[in-house]
């Protein structure tokens, strides 16, 4: 088994463990130990650091993946690629830090006096966190070029999340005050950065000596232009992930941002199937475009959409029907005010999954530059809808803004793929699957409260699973499932 296969297998295991651990961490552990405004502050610092680091990096994390093959030459330290990869972003960090400092009064003025007072002592720690985030992302990109991706994922998805849980427990037990918790939280990002640097040194790839050859391998202008394109594309994704929490915190309160953050994290469970599928879909679609095999692409588009619809509906119903149980685990009734927001976010993510891999088709196609237009449109529309709806509807308004933005942009992408390439993701089985999901959800919803939230959750989940799976198999709505079941039956009978 080659290094790519080994790393791919390890990444799959790490991704699933990390997603599960992150969901438990952010949806259950931290809310039980931190007050909503405290959780809102830590969420805000991470959001600031992420966008701050992306501006400073100027798309060079993507540059590291895109251009490293031209520099690859181990005996020469890859011709000074790592120093080149770090140099411009570190200069960018200095420039962004200047603007960050000058913008301090403006940013703090966006928050209520009590929230601004909570944020003010930690404002510059956001800059430290951004530096750690920047250097980690650049080294991670370098490792991807080297086909060493598993350790970085292990650090970020497993180690960091476990360390955060440990830090939160120390705070909850009274061993740390909140200031020490926040500083420790920032410090944990520094720890995983040092561990990643040590790993680079261990595998003999920490080449920090700059060379003039690095400026001659590829035109610097080409690298910078690609970095600018990558910056705009990645920023739009970050805006979608963080702007709602920022705007909720600014227009309502940090406590409301903490409540919304939990609602957002609960809804992320719905993204697990799509994320896993996209790792496979990306290289396959690129190959289909290379081979100009549009028939295989059309078949893949519809199959993945059908699979996303089946899994997405099941997860959305499972979460939505059992929100009482989920929030009962948090032990703080204030967080339960985000219930409606969870339902709206689930609807948005479900539509995002049902519309299939339209975004990947666009970005791997000859018209890939349109992906930037879609991403920027999505970011701008999300900001506008949040600005309009949060003052009127509060947390619900922010979730509704995300729902409207996701539905609108995915409808536009689906139309674009159909208009440009005559590819569309739907067949007659999609309405059947949605009807079955509605029927199974209705049957589970009719289950009355049974003694406790836990027992009610178990009974509803059993009813949902039996009805949903049974109807899918009886109607042959998902031929792949029936084929798999037939294969398993044959193997069992042959024994």
Q: Is 171 exposed, middle or buried (0-12, 13-18, 19+ CB in 10 A)?
A: buried
Is there a single domain that holds both residue 230 and residue 268?
A: no
Tell whether the model's pLDDT for residue 69 goes beyond 60.
Answer: yes
Is there a single domain that holds both residue 1 and residue 41?
A: yes
For residues 144-173, give the mean pLDDT. 81
**Cα dist from 240 to 131, 234, 256, 409, whole Å:** 22, 10, 18, 12
Tell whether the model's pLDDT for residue 395 goes beyond 50.
Answer: yes
Is there a single domain that holds both residue 290 and residue 321?
A: yes
CB 315 within 8 A of CB 370: no
Residue 466 lies in a domain: no
pLDDT at 7 (0 to 100) = 47
DSSP letters, 439-472, are HHHHHHHTPPP-SSHHHHHHHHHHHHHHHHHHHH
Tell whether the model's pLDDT for residue 122 goes beyond 90.
Answer: no
pLDDT in tens, 331-377: 778 888 888 999 999 999 899 888 868 877 887 777 777 777 777 78
**Tokens standing for residue 167:** 């830090």
CB 89 within 8 A of CB 58: yes
DSSP 365: S
Is there a single domain that holds both residue 307 and residue 378?
A: yes
Residue 494 lies in a domain: no
Question: What is the pTM assigned to this prediction?
Answer: 0.74
217 vs 196: CA distance, rounded Å:
27
Is there a single domain that holds both residue 335 and residue 371?
A: yes
The domain boundary residue, chosen from 246, 277, 306: 246
**Tokens standing for residue 450:** 């049974």
154 vs 168: CA distance, rounded Å:
20
pLDDT band at 216 (very low <50, low <70, confident <90, very high): low
* 3-state secondary structure (DSSP) of residue 149: coil
Residue 102 lies in a domain: yes
148 vs 80: CA distance, rounded Å:
19
Is there a single domain that holds both residue 206 and residue 269?
A: no
Q: Which is higher by pLDDT, 340 or 16? A: 340
DSSP 331: -
pLDDT in tens, 258-313: 888 888 888 877 877 776 666 566 667 767 777 788 888 888 888 888 888 888 89
Tell whether the model's pLDDT for residue 55 goes beyond 60.
Answer: yes
Is there a single domain that holds both residue 257 and residue 303?
A: yes
Tell whether the model's pLDDT for residue 176 goes beyond 80.
Answer: yes
**Cα dist from 147 to 7, 67, 277, 278, 392, whole Å:** 7, 14, 20, 19, 49
pLDDT band at 4 (very low <50, low <70, confident <90, very high): very low
Residues contacting 373, CB < 8 A, separation 6+: none
Nearest 5°: the CA angle 446, 349, 482 is: 65
Residues contacting 39, CB < 8 A, separation 6+: 30, 31, 258, 261, 262
pLDDT in tens, 416-454: 989 888 888 888 888 999 999 999 999 999 988 887 888
Sequence length of the chain is: 495
pLDDT at 188 (0 to 100) = 93
Q: Which is higher by pLDDT, 233 or 314? A: 314
pLDDT, mean over the chain? 79
| Residue in 274, 257, 349 with CA at minimum distance from that of residue 308 | 274
| Parent domain of 323 | 252-427
CA 447, 450, 453, 458 dihedral sign is negative
pLDDT > 70: percent of the chain: 77
Is there a single domain that holds both residue 239 and residue 259?
A: no
Is there a single domain that holds both residue 162 and residue 262?
A: no
Give 449-456's long-range contacts (Cβ < 8 A, gap of 24+).
453/324, 453/325, 453/328, 454/325, 456/322, 456/324, 456/325
Residues contacting 235, CB < 8 A, separation 6+: 51, 54, 55, 379
* 3-state secondary structure (DSSP) of residue 310: helix
The domain boundary residue, chosen from 392, 427, 462: 427
**Cα dist from 395 to 27, 60, 332, whole Å:** 17, 35, 17
Residues contacting 474, CB < 8 A, separation 6+: none
Is there a single domain that holds both residue 318 and residue 186?
A: no
Residue 371 lies in a domain: yes
pLDDT in tens, 454-484: 888 899 999 999 999 888 888 887 776 665 5
Query: Cβ atoms within 10 A of the Cβ of 238, count?
Result: 16
pLDDT at 311 (0 to 100) = 85
Residue 107 lies in a domain: yes
Helix (H) or strand (E) holding 213: none
pLDDT in tens, 75-108: 655 556 777 777 788 888 888 899 888 888 888 8
How many structural domains compose the chain? 2
Residue 86 lies in a domain: yes
Residue 346 lies in a domain: yes
Is there a single domain that holds both residue 81 and residue 206?
A: yes
Is there a single domain that holds both residue 24 and residue 171?
A: yes
Residue 420 lies in a domain: yes
In angstroms, what is the C-alpha Rg of the chain?
24
For residues 224-250, give the mean pLDDT. 68
pLDDT at 346 (0 to 100) = 93
The domain boundary residue, chosen from 231, 246, 261: 246
For residues 385-395, give the mean pLDDT. 88
């Amino acid at each position: 088994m080659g290094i790519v296969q080994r790393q791919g297998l390890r990444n799959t295991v790490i991704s699933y463990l990390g997603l599960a651990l992150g969901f438990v961490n952010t949806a259950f552990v931290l809310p039980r130990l931190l007050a909503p405004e405290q959780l809102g502050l830590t969420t805000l610092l991470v959001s600031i650091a992420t966008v701050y680091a992306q501006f400073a990096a100027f798309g060079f994390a993507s540059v590291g993946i895109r251009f490293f093959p031209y520099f690859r030459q181990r005996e020469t330290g890859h011709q000074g690629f790592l120093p080149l990869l770090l140099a411009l972003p570190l200069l960018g960090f200095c420039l962004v830090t200047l603007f960050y400092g000058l913008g301090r009064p403006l940013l703090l003025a966006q928050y209520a006096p009590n929230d601004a007072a909570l944020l003010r002592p930690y404002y510059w720690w956001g800059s430290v966190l951004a530096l750690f985030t920047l250097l980690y992302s650049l080294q991670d990109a370098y490792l991807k070029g080297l086909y060493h991706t598993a350790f970085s994922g292990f650090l970020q998805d497993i180690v960091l999340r476990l360390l955060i849980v440990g830090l939160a427990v120390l705070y909850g037990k009274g061993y740390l005050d909140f200031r020490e918790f926040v500083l420790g939280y920032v410090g944990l990002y520094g720890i995983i950065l040092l561990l990643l640097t040590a790993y680079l040194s261990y595998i003999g790839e920490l080449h920090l000596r700059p060379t003039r050859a690095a400026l001659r391998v590829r035109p610097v202008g080409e690298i910078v232009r690609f970095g600018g394109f990558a910056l705009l594309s990645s920023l739009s994704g970050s805006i979608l992930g963080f702007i709602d929490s920022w705007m909720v915190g600014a227009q309502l309160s940090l406590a409301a941002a903490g409540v919304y953050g939990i609602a957002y994290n609960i809804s992320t469970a719905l993204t697990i199937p799509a994320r896993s599928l996209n790792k496979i879909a990306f290289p396959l679609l690129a190959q289909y475009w290379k081979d100009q095999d549009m028939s295989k692409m059309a078949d893949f588009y519809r199959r993945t959409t059908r699979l996303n619809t089946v899994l997405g509906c099941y997860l959305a119903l499972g979460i939505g029907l059992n929100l009482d149980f989920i929030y009962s685990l948090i032990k703080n009734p204030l967080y339960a005010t985000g219930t409606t927001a969870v339902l709206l976010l689930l609807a948005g993510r479900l539509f995002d999954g049902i519309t299939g891999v339209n975004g990947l088709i666009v970005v791997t196609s000859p018209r890939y530059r349109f992906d930037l237009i879609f991403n920027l449109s999505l970011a701008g529309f999300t900001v506008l809808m949040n600005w309009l709806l949060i003052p009127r509807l509060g947390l619900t308004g922010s979730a509704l803004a995300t729902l409207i933005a996701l539905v609108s942009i995915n409808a536009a992408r689906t139309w674009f793929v159909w208009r440009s390439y005559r590819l569309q993701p739907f067949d007659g089985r999609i309405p059947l699957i949605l009807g079955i999901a509605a029927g199974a959800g209705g049957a589970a919803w009719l289950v009355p409260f049974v003694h406790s939230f836990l027992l009610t959750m178990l009974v509803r989940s059993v009813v949902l699973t039996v009805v949903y799976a049974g109807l899918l198999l009886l109607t042959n709505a998902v031929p792949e499932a029936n084929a798999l079941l037939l294969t398993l039956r044959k193997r069992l009978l042959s024994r």
